[in-house]
């Protein structure tokens, strides 16, 4: 099971209260609870397009390769190629045999975009 908590307000006190509650659960249940802090990743508009294109292609049952991504974005091909590499470096997508796939981090980033 997994829970994702996002503190939307830039309220330091609220964030500290949420963190205290999480730490209390961790201390009570020990190793049965894993906490990972994820800071928002800064994405360029091209990187956002890549993630959205991948999600769209996967939703249509298409195995997205680089040509599939390029045909589903509006930015220049060179900029998209760079964005694909950046997304891979940031761990948002992975590539196996020329086919791209969103990682858990990529899915999480997409949810935070909406």
d(CA 74, CA 70): 8
pLDDT per position as a tens digit, 2-61: 666 777 767 778 878 887 888 788 778 776 666 666 666 788 888 998 988 888 888 787
Q: Which residues contact 5 (CB under 8 A, 6 or more apart)?
A: 18, 22
- Better-predicted residue by pLDDT, 63 or 102: 102
What is the fold, at CATH topology level, of the domain defined by 45-113?
A: Arc Repressor Mutant, subunit A (1.10.10)
> What per-residue confidence (pLDDT) applies to 1?
62
Q: What is the pTM of this model?
A: 0.63
Q: According to the model, what pLDDT value does residue 87 have?
A: 92
Give the DSSP H/E element, type plus range, for residue 111.
helix 104-113
């Amino acid at each position: 099971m997994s829970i994702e908590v996002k503190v939307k307000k830039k309220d330091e006190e609220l964030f500290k209260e949420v963190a205290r509650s999480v730490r209390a659960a961790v201390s009570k249940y020990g190793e049965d609870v894993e906490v990972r802090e994820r800071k928002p990743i800064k994405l360029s508009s091209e990187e956002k397009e890549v993630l959205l294109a991948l999600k769209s292609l996967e939703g249509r049952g298409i195995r997205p390769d680089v040509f599939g991504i390029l045909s589903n974005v509006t930015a220049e091909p060179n900029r998209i190629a760079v964005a694909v590499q950046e997304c891979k470096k940031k761990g948002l997508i992975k590539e196996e045999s020329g086919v791209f796939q969103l990682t858990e981090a990529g899915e999480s980033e997409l949810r935070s975009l909406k």
